[in-house]
Chain A
Amino acid sequence: DTGVSQDPRHKITKRGQNVTFRCDPISEHNRLYWYRQTLGQGPEFLTYFQNEAQLEKSRLLSDRFSAERPKGSFSTLEIQRTEQGDSAMYLCASSLRGQDNSPLHFGNGTRLTVT
């Protein structure tokens, strides 16, 4: 399978704990995105990378959130001191920067439940 891969698929954690999610994009894609989706809503943009550079961060991304893409390949999203409001599906997507915007290809997501 050469699609976008996310790990884990599900994560249940207690409030106050730290969690880290991983995303492996499609191998030739140089852009990587993180989105968050709550129940009944469309995905909301969190941040995106072009290669290893983080080019944009949403105001949704509080100080407790940090994303990295150290070698321009896989990416991690860490949430520190989780809160119940962080419960959501975290989606990763990748695309190829070219002369026009290639479609974003999404992974299956990581569903986070904070108890």
Chain B
Amino acid sequence: AQKVTQAQTEISVVEKEDVTLDCVYETRDTTYYLFWYKQPPSGELVFLIRRNSFDEQNEISGRYSWNFQKSTSSFNFTITASQVVDSAVYFCALIRLQGAQKLVFGQGTRLTINP
């Protein structure tokens, strides 16, 4: 069975602070994809990043960066110099490469950036 755990239910920081959202996953599969999605108050899930289990390189996109460590089954997400517009619920998710095409989500982390 697959499982994604986001232990931080809510995080609140002041604008311009850096913040890291944790994600730990469980799977018996050797090949899988990991994702991060953002859900603003409007409700739509916005795709942020996909990472293949073969590729452990960290990735940076503007103020966003992702740290994938297969040894600890973690895929953490860091926002640098946070902005109020970053306020949203963030979800980490996992999907198998083969077989059932079911995206398994964590419980989400509600991030509030205060001005």
Contacts and interface: CB of A to CB of B under 8 A. Distances in A.
Given A45-B104, A56-B102, A100 B52 contact: yes
Interface of A: 31, 33, 35, 40-45, 48, 55-56, 58, 89, 91, 93, 100-101, 103-109, 111
Closest 7 CB pairs of A and B: A42-B105, A106-B45, A103-B47, A45-B102, A108-B44, A109-B43, A42-B108
Contacts of A106: 37, 44-47
Name, among B33, B37, B101, B108, the residue most crowded by chain A CB atoms within 10 Å (CB to CB).
Answer: B101
Query: DSSP class of A's interface residues: helix, strand, loop or mixed?
Result: strand
B47 A107 contact: no
Interface string B46-86: 11001010000000000000000000000000000000000
Chain B interface residue bracket vs A:
20 to 34
Contacts of A89: 43
B100 A100 contact: no
Contacts of B4: 42
B91 interface: yes
A42 B5 CA distance: 10
A40 B109 CA distance: 9
B103 A104 contact: yes
Contacts of A55: 101
Contacts of A91: 45
B95 interface: yes
A48 B37 CA distance: 19
Contacts of B37: 106
A57 B50 CA distance: 24
